[in-house]
Amino acid sequence: MNKFIFSDCTSVDAALSQMTGEAVVKAGGVDVLDRMKNGVIEPAKLVNITNIPSLRGIHETETGVRLGALVTLAELGDHPLLQSQYTVLADAAGHAATPQIRNAATLGGNLMQKVHCWYYRSADFACLRKGHDMCFAYDGLNQYHAIFDTNVCPSVAPSSTAVALSALNASVELTSAKGKRLVPVREFYIKPDDKHPTMETVIAPDELLTAVLIPKPAAGTRSAYQKYGEKSSYDWAIADAGVVLEMQGDVCRKAAIVLGAASPTPRLAVDAAALLVGKPITEETARAAGLAAMQGATPLSMNGYKVQLFPVAIYRTILLAAGKMDRDPSAAG
Ligand SMILES: Cc1cc2nc3c(=O)[nH]c(=O)nc-3n(C[C@H](O)[C@H](O)[C@H](O)COP(=O)(O)OP(=O)(O)OC[C@H]3O[C@@H](n4cnc5c(N)ncnc54)[C@H](O)[C@@H]3O)c2cc1C
Ligand code: SF4
């Protein structure tokens, strides 16, 4: 690991003033230190934000809930209000990684963690996403890679909380010396294209993610998240799904289905969700939505199994959200 300056900040203003040149923000440090230890990045300065009190806390507001960027995954998973009214988020945070990681990892860092691809996370591969000119995944080991939006960089969106927050239509608050702006989570992530292969989010280099705002759920809202992986813990998802249903009696009035580990960004399955609207949630409607979510998939040479796995993850999560199935014992986390 390279030598670096450690700039410990106790206010947002102090952190913003330190975010110059090659400085990198450090929250829980799980992702950033991993990449430093692997020699993927060698920042001259780390701006430590973990001692900024104003970035902590889960607050219920008139319009919903405000989560500070430093709230840990463990705090999200254990919070009674989130468990009862924003279940998809408590489920996603509470089943991510391991208990030790959930105690250190922050919401802001989880949303900002870099994409998942073992070539990207190794210093030995100078790939397109790191500003070079080729992708190693197409002809390489691509069993964990994307099955949608695979044309430029088929890495996958790794953040469990991004899946949940996208399903809840939450927004992130971004703060710079010029002020604050709100960006819907659904517009926060950038799909890699030929012009911008290295950009992952719309955050500017002088901005800090300071909070997440989730709107109050409409009456009758129920939600759930499930993650499927190779291991039951200590791993990212191979396929995960977040589902939010607005129910009126037995009938679904509105639905959102979001997939993680399917594309380089969290994937909103709009057509699949539309199939649920106006109908009761049954095994049949849930299975139909799961299959519809795979329309347009372009799997790579080694990940065709995901096209079979996702429909199962989706239909079981829809039934869990509707209260028609228990949590799947074969789900991870
Ligand atoms: C074995 C293992 C299993 C895992 N499984 C899962 C899983 O199932 N689901 C999942 O979602 N994650 C999983 N993770 C990833 C882990 O949850 C993330 O690495 C962690 O949440 C990152 O949070 P952090 O606070 O440590 O971020 P850091 O490492 O401190 O930062 C991550 C990135 O975000 C930037 N950053 C951090 N905070 C801010 C901010 N407030 N504003 C602007 N930029 C910021 C940093 O500069 C850095 O680039 C796993 C990790 C491991 C090691
Ligand atoms: S999938 Fe993306 S991150 Fe992975 S090697 Fe290809 S360009 Fe790099």
Q: Which of 165, 195, 215 is the last residue of a domain?
A: 215
- Do residue 101 and residue 207 come from a single domain? yes
pLDDT greater than 90 at residue 232: no
Q: Is residue 150 part of a domain?
A: no
Q: Is residue 136 part of a domain?
A: no
Residue 285 Cα, ligand 1 centroid: separation in angstroms? 35
- Do residue 33 and residue 164 come from a single domain? no
pLDDT greater than 90 at residue 308: yes
Q: Is residue 326 part of a domain?
A: no
Closest ligand to 119 CA? 2
Q: Is residue 252 part of a domain?
A: yes
Nearest-CA residue for atom 48 of ligand 1: 32
- Do residue 240 and residue 293 come from a single domain? yes
Record the tokens describing residue 201, joined without a space.
């989010």
Choosing from 135, 193, 196, 303 the residue with most ligand 2 atoms within 8 A of its CB, the one to mutate for a pocket test is 135
Residues 6+ apart with CB under 8 A from 20: none
Which atom of ligand 1 approaches the CA of 110 most closely? 21
Cα-Cα-Cα-Cα torsion 96, 215, 288, 228, nearest 10 degrees, comes to 0
- Do residue 36 and residue 168 come from a single domain? no
- Do residue 174 and residue 230 come from a single domain? no
pLDDT greater than 90 at residue 233: no
Q: Is residue 140 part of a domain?
A: no
- Do residue 60 and residue 87 come from a single domain? yes
- Do residue 64 and residue 211 come from a single domain? yes
User: Beta strands 171-176 and 208-215: pairing type?
Assistant: antiparallel
Strands of 239-248's sheet, edge to edge? 221-228, 239-248, 251-260, 267-268
Q: Domain with 27 in it: what CATH number?
A: 3.30.43.10
User: Beta strands 251-260 and 239-248: pairing type?
Assistant: antiparallel
- Do residue 85 and residue 204 come from a single domain? yes
Contact 270, 295 (CB under 8 A): no
User: Beta strands 5-8 and 171-176: pairing type?
Assistant: unpaired
Which atom of ligand 2 approaches the CA of 142 most closely? 1
Length of the chain: 333
Q: Domain with 312 in it: what CATH number?
A: 3.30.390.50
Q: Which domain holds residue 19?
A: 1-53
What pLDDT does residue 196 have? 83
Nearest-CA residue for atom 6 of ligand 2: 135
Q: Which of 187, 215, 243 is the last residue of a domain?
A: 215
Q: Is residue 133 part of a domain?
A: no
- Do residue 270 and residue 176 come from a single domain? no
User: Percent of the chain beyond pLDDT 70?
Assistant: 100
Whose CA is closest to 169, among 65, 81, 54?
65
Whose CA is closest to 264, among 311, 201, 205?
201
Q: Domain with 159 in it: what CATH number?
A: 3.30.465.10
Residues 6+ apart with CB under 8 A from 208: 12, 15, 16, 19, 25, 49, 69, 108, 174, 175, 176
- Do residue 170 and residue 27 come from a single domain? no
Cα-Cα-Cα-Cα torsion 60, 91, 325, 238, nearest 10 degrees, comes to 150
**Arithmetic mean of pLDDT, 79-106:** 97
Residues having CB closer than 6 A to ligand 2 are 117, 119-120, 127-129, 135-137, 153-155
Residue 105 DSSP label: -
Q: Is residue 331 part of a domain?
A: no
Euclidean distance between CA atoms 145 and 272, whole angstroms: 22
Banded model confidence at residue 234, pLDDT cuts 50, 70, 90: confident
What mean pLDDT is reported for the chain? 97
Domain count for the chain, please give it: 3
pLDDT greater than 90 at residue 57: yes
- Do residue 76 and residue 164 come from a single domain? yes
Residue 22 Cα, ligand 1 centroid: separation in angstroms? 19
User: Percent of the chain beyond pLDDT 90?
Assistant: 96
Closest ligand to 137 CA? 2
Banded model confidence at residue 87, pLDDT cuts 50, 70, 90: very high
Collapse the DSSP code of 232 into the 3-class scheme (helix H, G, I; strand E, B; otherwise coil) and give the result: coil
What pLDDT does residue 304 have? 98
Task: Tell me the HSE value of 142 on the side-chain side, using a 13 A CA sphere.
Answer: 22
- The dihedral built from the CA positions of residue 35, 37, 40 and 43, taken in this order, carries a sign that is positive
What pLDDT does residue 67 have? 98
pLDDT greater than 90 at residue 264: yes
Q: Is residue 281 part of a domain?
A: yes
Nearest-CA residue for atom 36 of ligand 1: 109
Choosing from 130, 155, 199 the residue with most ligand 2 atoms within 8 A of its CB, the one to mutate for a pocket test is 155
- Do residue 272 and residue 186 come from a single domain? no
Banded model confidence at residue 276, pLDDT cuts 50, 70, 90: very high
Residues having CB closer than 6 A to ligand 1 are 24-32, 49, 69, 96-97, 101, 104-106, 108-110, 112-113, 158-160, 208-209, 234-237
